[in-house]
């Protein structure tokens, strides 16, 4: 290791980090799909995928192979460059935002933090920005397919995402006010004083903000009960009606990658990120460097997993909203509530001095 | 590193701007504009203005340009005809553009001492947290212009609501 310069080492470790995180994220996406199918099946009193491998555990691999091998059809009337670009934008944006997520405690090896790809001062804004660019994937896919159902689906989706982005962004302001920074590490550290009691949702009294965020996040990722863009009984399959084989799979993966990103942000901002809910009580028992590095990652994964399960549970439970209900809920209820939350939070912070 | 970023994204911004003018379909032009906005955001970031960069991406590329694309899609605007252009545009436009270019480069070159040749990306490596500085400036020294601008935007929104309202 010693004959490498610092810069080479940094480059090598960074590339390695990116590769590992990407592979884990893609695997997580594949197995979230399986988890969803299994959990939904149990809620509806059936088995779900159970033929391929033990408990159907190899199902995602088989699904992936199937979408690779299927014929890739392009409609004649489609706007070809944009038709191909749209799924790339959607999946690319969904995968990029994990780059700023810190998924473990600060663990430095040769000056490189192992559990975060990039520690950016404006990490939160980077995630919001990438999410807002991801809208183009949906918008362009609907328009370039040259299909009425696709166009209507993408119009609905774009309008929905833009509307709920406001409530989503405003719901996070209270957390930023408390942490006084947009750096995700700093936000996590600001809640790690007393374990679960100092998490923003409990000790920070951001529980209203959390519920606004949760609902806006469901709408942002086009998931039930806000999955109007792909309401199959009205719009066939929404914006990806004309897509087949791997291009369809890319939209599908983008949706699940977005779910994971949104769960990561909820974990970081409201549930103390990778910190333990017991605070520093057990620090003396497991005080070896390896355990100190591994336990936070486990906490982080467990929290994100809980959010994914919540997503699936909600999908199995709630019926779909009507479009006008969705819009008036976002603009007339969530947005004013988020603003009220900002005012109250900043007032309390100012009073405490 | 910073110089490489500047060259790449400067070229990308220029290419996007040219493509915006040369494309015949409105949606392609709008997307080129998105590319320009994103490259400008990277340039801001490489100069150390990270908050400005994020605001540029979120506000311009993420909100305003999406609405542009949205409107173009809804109007179903087709390909436009290419014209030969008016003779006045050639007669005035090209010398005008050249004159502005010469004037700007003259000002920048002659006032180089006063402008202090800025070290591109100099603030990037020290990773300063400049959001606090920006907001302190905005809410103390620049409070009046800031509030006046927000009222201006509010007036514009009210105007849009009044225009869009159906006659009773």
Q: Where are the domains of chain A?
A: 74-352
Residue B121 pLDDT greater than 60, yes or no: no
Residue A198: per-residue pLDDT: 74
Of chain B, the percentage scoring pLDDT greater than 70 comes to: 84
Whether A133 has its CB under 8 Å from any CB of chain B: the answer is: yes
ipTM: 0.78
3-class SS of residue A322: coil
Of B58, B74, B129, the CB nearest to A132: B58
Q: Is the pLDDT of residue B122 over 60?
A: no
What's the gap in Å between the CA of B99 and the closest CA on chain A?
37
Nearest to B70 among A126, A131, A139 (CB): A139
Closest-CA distance of chain A to residue B57, Å: 6
Among A183, A156, A168, A172, which residue's Cα sits nearest to residue A320? A156
Lowest mean pLDDT: which of A101-105, A278-282, B113-117, B137-141? B113-117
CA–CA separation, B28 and B20 (whole Å): 7
In chain A, which residue's Cα lies nearest the Cα of B25?
A79
Give me the residue from A120, A143, A182 closest to B73, CB to CB.
A143
Cross-strand bridge partners of residue A109 = A112
Closest by CA to A237, choosing from A142, A144, A313, is A142
Rg (CA), chain B: 20
Mean pLDDT calculated for residue range B17-24: 86
**What pLDDT, on the 0 to 100 scale, is given for residue B153?**
92
Q: Which residues of B touch A (CB under 8 A)?
A: 27, 31, 34, 38, 50-51, 53-55, 57-58, 61-63, 66-67, 69-70, 73-74, 127, 129, 131-132
What pLDDT band is residue A183 in, cutting at 50, 70 and 90?
confident
Which chain B residue shows the shortest CA-CA distance from A151?
B73
Beta bridge partners of A113: A108
Residue A110 structure tokens: 């040769």
Looking at the DSSP bridge assignments, the partners of residue B132 are none
> Does A139 contact B129 at a Cβ distance shorter than 8 Å?
no
User: Does the pLDDT of residue A124 top 60, yes or no?
Assistant: yes
CB proximity A331 to B under 8 Å: no
Q: Name, in order, each residue with C-beta under 8 angstroms of A210's C-beta and a sequence gap of 6 or more.
A: A171, A200, A201, A266, A270
Nearest residue in chain B measured CA to CA from A132? B62
Nearest CB among B62, B73, B131 relative to A132 is that of B62
Give the pLDDT mean for A216-238: 76
Residue B99 makes CB contacts below 8 A (sequence gap 6+) with none
pLDDT greater at residue B63 or residue A261: A261
Give CA torsion, residues A176, A181, A183, A184, to 10 deg: -40
Bridge-based pairing of strands A108-109 and A112-113 is antiparallel
- pLDDT given for residue B129 in this prediction: 61
Shortest distance between the Cα of A171 and any Cα of chain B, in A, equals 16
Give the span between the Cα atoms of A255 and A221, in whole angstroms: 6
Helix, strand, or coil (residue A22): helix
Contact by Cβ (8 Å): A224, A310:
no
Would you call A97 an interface residue with chain B, using a CB distance cutoff of 8 Å? no
Taking the mean position of all CA atoms in its chain, how far away is CA A121? 20
**Would the pLDDT of A234 be above 70?**
no
Q: Say whether A125 and B54 touch across the interface (CB within 8 A).
A: yes
Q: Grade residue B50 by pLDDT with cuts at 50, 70 and 90.
A: confident
CB contact under 8 A, B129 and A158: no
Nearest-angstrom CA–CA distance, A279 and A191: 10
Taking only residues 169 to 208 of chain A, the set having a beta carbon closer than 8 angstroms to any beta carbon of chain B reads: 180-183
* Cα angle: A131, vertex A304, A251; to 5 degrees: 40
pLDDT higher at A4 or A67: A67
> Angle at which helices B65-75 and A148-179 pack, to 10 degrees?
170
Q: Distance from B73 to chain A by nearest Cα, in Å?
A: 7
What CA–CA distance (Å, rounded) separates A300 from A185?
13
Task: Kindly list the domain boundaries of chain B, sorted by start residue.
Answer: 2-128, 129-168
Of the candidate ranges A26-40, A65-79, B71-85, the one whose mean pLDDT is the lowest: B71-85
Domain covering B2-128, topology: 1.20.120
Residue among A139, A197, A209, A138 at smallest CA distance from A169: A209
A127 part of contact set with chain B, CB < 8 Å: no
| Helix residue ranges per DSSP H, chain A | 6-43, 59-69, 80-96, 123-144, 148-179, 184-189, 207-220, 232-235, 245-270, 289-317, 323-328, 335-352
Q: Judge contact between A121 and A113, C-beta under 8 A.
A: no
d(Cα A267, Cα A290) in Å, to the nearest integer?
23
Please identify which residue in the block is written with the tokens 């590992």.
Answer: A20
């Amino acid at each position: 290791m010693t004959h490498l310069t610092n810069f080479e080492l940094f480059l090598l470790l960074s590339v390695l980090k990116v590769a590992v995180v990407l592979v884990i994220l893609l695997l997580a996406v594949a197995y979230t799909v399986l988890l969803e199918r299994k959990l939904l099946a149990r809620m509806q009193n059936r088995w779900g995928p159970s033929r391929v491998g033990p408990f159907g555990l190899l199902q995602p691999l088989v699904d992936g192979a199937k979408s690779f091998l299927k014929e890739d059809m392009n409609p004649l009337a489609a706007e070809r460059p944009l038709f191909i670009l749209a799924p790339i934008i959607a999946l690319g944006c969904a995968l990029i935002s994990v780059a700023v997520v810190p998924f473990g405690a600060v663990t430095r090896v040769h000056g490189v933090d192992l559990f975060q790809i990039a520690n950016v001062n404006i990490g939160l804004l980077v995630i919001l920005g990438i999410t807002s660019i991801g809208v183009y994937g949906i918008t362009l896919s609907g328009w370039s397919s040259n299909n009425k159902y696709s166009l209507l689906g993408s119009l609905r989706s774009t309008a929905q995402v833009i509307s709920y982005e406001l409530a989503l962004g405003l719901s996070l302001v209270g957390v930023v006010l408390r942490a006084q920074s947009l750096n995700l590490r700093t936000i996590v550290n600001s809640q790690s004083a007393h374990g679960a009691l100092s998490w923003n949702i409990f000790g920070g009294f951001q529980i209203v903000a959390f519920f606004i965020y949760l609902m806006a996040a469901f709408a942002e990722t086009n998931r039930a009960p806000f999955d109007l863009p792909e309401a199959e009984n009205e719009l066939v399959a929404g914006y990806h009606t004309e897509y087949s084989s791997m291009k369809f799979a890319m939209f599908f993966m983008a949706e699940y990658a977005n779910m994971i990103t949104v769960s990561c942000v909820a974990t970081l901002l409201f549930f103390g990120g990778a910190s333990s809910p017991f605070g520093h009580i057990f620090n003396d028992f497991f005080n070896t460097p390896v355990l100190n590095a591994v336990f936070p990652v486990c906490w982080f994964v467990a929290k994100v997993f809980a959010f994914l399960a919540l997503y699936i549970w909600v999908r199995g439970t709630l019926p779909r909203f009507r479009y006008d209900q969705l819009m008036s809920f976002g603009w007339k209820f969530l947005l004013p509530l988020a603003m009220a939350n900002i005012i109250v939070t900043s007032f309390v912070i100012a009073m405490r001095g | 590193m910073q110089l490489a970023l500047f060259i790449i994204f400067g070229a990308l911004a220029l290419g996007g701007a040219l493509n915006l003018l040369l494309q015949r379909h409105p949606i392609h032009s709008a997307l080129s504009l998105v590319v320009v906005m994103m490259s400008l955001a990277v340039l801001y970031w490489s100069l150390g203005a990270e908050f400005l960069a994020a605001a540029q991406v979120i506000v311009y590329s993420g909100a305003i340009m999406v609405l542009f694309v949205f409107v173009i899609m809804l109007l179903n605007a087709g390909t436009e005809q290419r014209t030969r252009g008016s003779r006045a545009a050639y007669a005035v436009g090209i010398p005008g553009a050249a004159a502005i270019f010469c004037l700007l480069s003259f000002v920048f070159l002659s006032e180089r001492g006063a402008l202090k040749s800025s070290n591109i990306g100099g603030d990037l490596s020290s990773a300063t947290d400049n959001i606090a500085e920006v907001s302190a400036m905005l809410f103390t020294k620049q409070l009046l212009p800031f509030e006046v601008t927000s009222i201006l935007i509010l007036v514009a929104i009210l105007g849009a609501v009044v225009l869009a309202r159906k006659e009773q």
